[in-house]
Amino acid sequence: MVHSQIENEEIVERYARNQLAPEERQAFEEHYWGCDECFEKLQTMERFLAGIRDAADRGLLDDTSRAAFAGARGVWFRWALAATTCAALVFAALTGWIYIAQMPKLRAELDRTAAQLQAERRSRAELEQRPLPLEQAEANVPLVMLQASRADEPPATVLLQPAAKHLVLWIDMSPSRYRGFRLEVFSQEDRLVTSLDHLERGPYGALAVSLPADQLPAGDLRIKLSGQDPPPASLAGEYHLRIRRP
């Protein structure tokens, strides 16, 4: 079966409508399986007919429309095929424009991104090869022991020298059901200075906390300790500390 016969005798539409004789049907099947053009036309026709049937089933086509479709099948198919061909041409033109006009720009952006990644890898490799600076040991670390006190009692006092880097707090606690604690340090203006979470008591039942000395302002501080784990959280103790600086 050749293309001229297929077009003149509307073989594609008749095949989709199951109107071919068995020998014609077999001959067309042998042809379109090896012909991309006819295969595509058949797919378009089958989708077109399925849409018409669906519209008819939904009551979207009146009797006049159905009659017009039945009487002008070839015209409808040619319009559908023309629309499909135009869409394919538009898509091909758009793809060509993207390839010609946009690909150089995209390739340049890709090259820049690759260069940036390569530079970041080199920088990271150089940093990994550098020896880590050793933290200097600190002598005479200031330490203060805190006990729960009332507001009218004098606070514990500690003198922080300019060279001090840390202040160690040793907090005595009464027995508690909590395993984990949160510590908050407030200034005289009741501003949160620093905080620590997930604190646990040591073997002597006390908490040992190291705070950066440069974060602690001179003056009276209020230290609030709350139990967190297991919930619900509640206040476990409040302590007062006076920071002095020379």
Please write the tens of the pLDDT for every residue from 95-109.
Answer: 666 656 666 777 778
Q: Is the pLDDT of residue 159 over 50?
A: yes
The residue among 68, 103, 134 that closes a domain is: 134
- Alpha helices for 58-175 (secondary structure H): 63-71, 73-97, 103-129
Rounded mean pLDDT of 86-103?
Answer: 63
Lowest-pLDDT range of 11-20, 91-100, 203-212: 91-100
How many domains are there within the chain?
A: 2
Give the whole-number percent of the chain exceeding pLDDT 70. Answer: 76
pLDDT digits (tens, 9 = 90+) for 137-158: 778 889 999 987 666 678 899 9
Q: Do residues 13 and 130 both lie within one domain?
A: yes
Q: Do residues 123 and 3 both lie within one domain?
A: yes
Rounded Cα distance, 184 and 225, in Å: 7
Rounded Cα distance, 15 and 146, in Å: 95
Give the whole-number percent of the chain exceeding pLDDT 90. Answer: 30
- Alpha helices for the chain (secondary structure H): 3-8, 11-16, 22-32, 36-57, 63-71, 73-97, 103-129
Rounded Cα distance, 50 and 143, in Å: 86
Q: Is the pLDDT of residue 122 over 60?
A: yes
Burial group, residue 62, by CB count within 10 angstroms (0-12, 13-18, 19+): exposed
Task: Provide the mean pLDDT of the chain.
Answer: 79
Q: Could you tell me if 243 and 218 are in contact, meaning their C-beta atoms sit under 8 angstroms apart? A: yes
**Which CATH number goes with the domain that contains 208?**
2.60.40.3350
Q: Is the dihedral of CA 36, 42, 46, 49 positive or negative?
A: positive
The residue among 134, 167, 184 that closes a domain is: 134
Tell me which residue range forms the domain holding 211: 143-244
Q: Do residues 179 and 203 both lie within one domain?
A: yes
pLDDT at 72: 45
Q: How many residues does the chain have?
A: 246
Please tell me whether residue 80 adopts helix, strand or coil conformation.
helix
Q: Do residues 47 and 2 both lie within one domain?
A: yes
Q: Do residues 240 and 121 both lie within one domain?
A: no
Q: Do residues 18 and 99 both lie within one domain?
A: yes
The residue among 134, 157, 173 that closes a domain is: 134
Rounded Cα distance, 124 and 210, in Å: 32
Q: Is the dihedral of CA 140, 153, 234, 190 positive or negative?
A: negative
Rounded Cα distance, 78 and 5, in Å: 16
Q: Do residues 92 and 158 both lie within one domain?
A: no
Element (H, E) at 159: strand 156-159
Q: Do residues 114 and 183 both lie within one domain?
A: no
Q: Do residues 122 and 170 both lie within one domain?
A: no
